Amino acid sequence: MDRLRVVFLGPLASFSHQAASESFGKKAADLLPHVSFADAFAAVQSQEADYAVIPCENSTNGSVVQTLDLLADRNDQYKDVKVCGEYYLTVHHCLLVHKGSYPSGWSGYDGQITKLYTHPQAWGQCENVLSKYFKGVERQDVSSTSKGAEIVSKEPTEKSAAIASRFAAEYHGVDVLKENIEDRADNTTRFLILRNVLAERTAKYDLEQPEAPTSQEKPVHEDTHKTLVSFSIDHSLPGALANALLIFKKHGLNLTSINTRPSLKRAWQYIFFVECGRTPSDENKDAVVKALTDLRDVTEYCRDLGTWKDQLGANAL
Amino acid sequence: MDRLRVVFLGPLASFSHQAASESFGKKAADLLPHVSFADAFAAVQSQEADYAVIPCENSTNGSVVQTLDLLADRNDQYKDVKVCGEYYLTVHHCLLVHKGSYPSGWSGYDGQITKLYTHPQAWGQCENVLSKYFKGVERQDVSSTSKGAEIVSKEPTEKSAAIASRFAAEYHGVDVLKENIEDRADNTTRFLILRNVLAERTAKYDLEQPEAPTSQEKPVHEDTHKTLVSFSIDHSLPGALANALLIFKKHGLNLTSINTRPSLKRAWQYIFFVECGRTPSDENKDAVVKALTDLRDVTEYCRDLGTWKDQLGANAL
């Protein structure tokens, strides 16, 4: 088989790039940056790409609405795109400096840095270190953490530093002066891996989940499968949402997440996204199919958005 | 009684200012801008302010997560803040120009504008007019639509224009060259009105809902009351969410919205926000109290975030 074509949300050396690299790194895969969420979905729908790796939720910030809006697929543009896997990436930030500018490392640091670069969101994630060691230091927002690392790689001075991942440091060839400077050690982003269900190339591919994470802190729950379903309900029927959720319970499917987005058909009506898990057994092998059949009776619209192996052992709702 | 002190999310002439003005305009009220969502909550908790007017949801963009995170109140900072009302504001954008620069109005416009100012989100909401009349014109992002109107008020030229509300035009003294230039006529933001339940000043105030909207397109559903409840569940018990939602159904409370935010206690566990409505009657006058009692049996934590008069006639879930 030809090399896999895997798209991720750019730029190069972004957290999405890191997630794609860790998911597919051991396969023969070309990792291709795409500038927008919609481009990545379109590349999978057109089969220009085999897979897309897209952030869907962060443990601190919550759901990524751009991804939900594309999964909502209100205009039937991505009708063959389904989720086939997930990947959890713990977000670790490092303080990065120009290569060789601090030969004795952090122990030799004595207040030389006068300018810091990073994405606006990262400042708030590293407040402890910033307030302790970099009070009053000029902060320059950049479009991505990776961009900050790139700038530092091109400025041969010990006066500038960037906050970005070790992955970005290696990509741009800069030094890690101090690692794990984030306030919350458990800040994790979940990525969905998408494929086109009509694609023969990936249908023959023997793993629905391309590559399990190898980190010991993230055990692979091979025995649990997750399924994502979207639906809308008749808003004139009170209790319709409770009735829909009971169907999952009836078929032994444990809810693990629920999200809503505006329907955009009528104000204050919603598309629901429900994720559920099950441990496959002979008894429940048709549970998802049966639940979807029942759901069609109590929803206006209902769509199976894919089933994949749970990588975390998600909490029940 | 002294004049009411009502805080809104600044700057002056923002959509929040407009919502506060339309909600409280007929009362003796001082409207005070606050720069952050947290400041507005804190002002109500400390009783520095009587009310706060805060955006909570937009019909196109969905929920406002900053507001949900403050209502989640993970550190018990706002324990006496509850919702006491709501207000729906339809977002209309106008093309604003320096006063007197186009005496014959839009009919006399002939391509003179070379620079446009607005908040980044507004460009995407006015694409039809922008692509038809302003293709290739320089776009300058500003921190708020109101700020754009202010800049145009100070630049005495016919070459610059801003996209902002009529309210901002009147506030900053600029002319409306073309009105209702938004793509979606139904783009509406819902604001919550907050008060401190311990505040004697507003307890004596005879209206829980300070001022009903007067627009004919937004009928006041005086007969329906809405209640907001937050809760967390035991994630080791499958079906806990479905059980919680069934309690609302059992007590005749129709769900109208459901949202989740990360608990921040443990990754992938959530705080749920459920809104429900009822038409008050002798039979259901204790429905909310009874539902909360039952909810405490099936949730880890459960909080009543207030009851108020429905201003829209919300859709059931």
Pinpoint the alpha helices (H) of chain A: 15-24, 37-45, 65-72, 120-125, 127-133, 145-154, 166-172, 200-203, 240-250, 287-298
Choose the closest CB to A60 out of B235, B260, B262. Answer: B262
For A255-280, write each residue's pLDDT tens digit: 989 999 999 988 899 999 999 998 88
Q: Does the pLDDT of residue B248 top 90, yes or no?
A: yes
Who contacts B75 (Cβ-Cβ below 8 Å, separation ≥6)?
none
Contacts of B64 in chain A (CB under 8 A): none
- The answer to whether residue B284 neighbours chain A at the CB level (below 8 Å) is no
CA distance B69 to chain A (A): 10
Q: pLDDT confidence of B234, banded at 50, 70, 90?
A: confident
B268 near A CB under 8 A: yes
Q: Which of B221-225, B261-265, B275-279 has the lowest mean pLDDT?
A: B221-225
Cβ-count burial B181-204 (b if 16+ within 10 Å, e if not): bbeeeebbbbbbbbbbeebeebee
B217 touches chain A (CB under 8 A): no
DSSP for B61-98, written as a single string = TEE-HHHHHHHH-TTSSSTTEEEEEEEEEE---EEEE-
Contact A315 B62 (CB under 8 A): no
Query: Is A5:A29 a contact under the CB 8 Å cutoff?
Result: yes
Of B61, B125, B221, B241, which to mutate for an interface test with A (greatest number of A Cβ within 10 Å)?
B241
Q: Which fold has domain B94-178?
A: D-Maltodextrin-Binding Protein; domain 2 (3.40.190)
Q: Does any CB of chain B come closer than 8 Å to the CB of residue A1?
A: no
pLDDT at residue B110, as a whole number: 92
* CA atoms within 13 Å, Cβ hemisphere of A236: 2
Q: How many CA atoms lie within 13 A of B244 on its CB side?
A: 30
Q: How many helices (H) and strands (E) does chain A have?
A: 10, 15
Per-residue confidence band for B302, with pLDDT thresholds at 50, 70 and 90: very high
Comparing A18-27, A40-49, A147-156, B36-45, the range with the smallest average pLDDT is: A18-27
Ranges of CATH 3.30.70.260 domains, chain B: 220-317
Show residues of chain B in contact with A65, CB under 8 Å. Answer: 61-62
Burial readout B272-286 (b: 16 or more C-beta within 10 A, e: otherwise): bbbbbbbeeeeebee
Question: Mean pLDDT score of chain A, rounded to an integer?
Answer: 90
Instruction: Please give the pLDDT value at position A84.
Output: 94
What CA–CA distance (Å, rounded) separates B178 from B181?
7
Predicted local distance difference test score (pLDDT) of residue A113: 97
Provide CATH 3.30.70.260 ranges for chain A: 218-317
**pLDDT single digits (tens) B103-156:** 999 999 999 999 999 998 899 899 999 999 999 999 999 989 999 999 999 999
Which chain B residues contact residue A72 at CB under 8 A?
A: none
Give the mean pLDDT of A1-23: 92
In this model, does residue A288 exceed pLDDT 50?
yes
**Which CATH code fits A1-91+187-211?**
3.40.190.10
What band does A235 get if pLDDT is binned at 50, 70 and 90?
confident
What pLDDT digit, counting tens, does each position of A36-45 carry? 999 999 999 9
Query: Chain B contact for A157, CB < 8 A?
Result: no
Report the run of H or E that residue B302 belongs to, with start and end.
strand B301-309
pLDDT band at B1 (very low <50, low <70, confident <90, very high): low
Q: How far is A113 from chain B (nearest CA, A)?
A: 29
Confidence of residue A218 (pLDDT cuts 50, 70, 90): very low
Q: What is the pLDDT of residues A86-133, one digit of tens each?
A: 999 999 999 999 999 999 999 999 999 999 999 988 998 999 999 999
Q: Note whether B250 contacts A: Cβ–Cβ < 8 A.
A: no
**Which token pair is A194?**
């998408």
Question: At A263, which amino acid appears?
Answer: S
pLDDT of residue B266: 86
**Domain B1-90+187-210 is in which class?**
alpha beta
**CATH 1.10.1040.50, domain B220-317, yes or no:** no
- Tell me if A260 and B259 make a contact (CB, 8 A cut-off): yes
Q: Residue A311 CB: number of other CB atoms within 10 A? A: 23
Provide the 3-class DSSP secondary structure of residue B34.
strand
Closest CA to B49 of B3, B84, B15: B3
Cβ neighbours for B285, distance < 8 A, ≥ 6 positions apart:
none
Q: Please give, rounded to a whole number of angstroms, the shortest distance from the CA of B111 to a CA of chain A.
A: 32
Q: Give the pLDDT score at A64.
A: 94
Distance from the A273 Cα atom to the nearest Cα atom in chain B, whole angstroms:
11
If 0-12 CB within 10 Å is exposed, 13-18 middle and 19+ buried, where does residue B218 land?
middle
B residues 18-57 near A, CB within 8 Å?
none
pLDDT in tens, A137-178: 999 999 899 999 999 999 999 999 999 999 999 999 999 999
Whole-Å CA distances, A313 to A53, A59, A110, A261:
20, 15, 44, 26
Inter-chain contact A316–B246, Cβ cutoff 8 Å?
Answer: no
Per-residue pLDDT tens for B161-206? 999 999 999 999 999 999 999 999 989 999 999 999 999 988 876 5
Residue A313 pLDDT: 67
Q: If we measure between CA atoms, which residue out of A246, A243, A291, A249 comes closest to residue B255?
A: A243
Residue bearing tokens 């009822």: B278
CB pair distance less than 8 Å for A317 and B235: yes
At A138, is the secondary structure helix, strand, or coil? Answer: strand
| Residue B213 pLDDT grade (very low, low, confident, very high; cuts 50, 70, 90) | very low
Burial of B89 (0-12, 13-18, 19+ CB in 10 A): buried
Q: Tell me the CATH number for domain A218-317.
A: 3.30.70.260
Cβ-defined contact of B186 to A259 (cutoff 8 Å): no
- pLDDT of A211 > 90? The answer is no
Give the SS3 label for residue A59. Answer: coil
- Coil, helix or strand for A130? helix
- Summarize the confidence of residues A17-22 as an average pLDDT: 95
> Min CA distance, B4 vs chain A (Å)?
31
A268·B240 Cβ contact <8 A = no
- How many C-beta atoms surround the C-beta of residue B47 within 10 A? 16
Residue B2 has a CB neighbour count (10 Å cut-off) of 8
H or E element at residue B297: helix B287-298
Task: Report the alpha-carbon distance of residue A295 to residue A147 in Å, rounded.
Answer: 46
Query: Measuring CA to CA, which residue among B231, B226, B224 is closest to residue B294?
Result: B231
Write down the mean pLDDT value for chain B. 90
**What residues of chain B lie within 8 A of the CB of A246, using their CB?**
242, 246
Q: How many helices (H) and strands (E) does chain B have?
A: 10, 15
- Angle between helices A240-250 and B240-250 in degrees, nearest 10: 140
A316:B259 CB<8 A: no
The ipTM is: 0.88
Are B161 and B171 in contact by the 8 Å Cβ rule? The answer is no
Position A206 scores a pLDDT of: 52
pLDDT for A213:
46
**Average pLDDT of the segment spanning A182-209:** 85
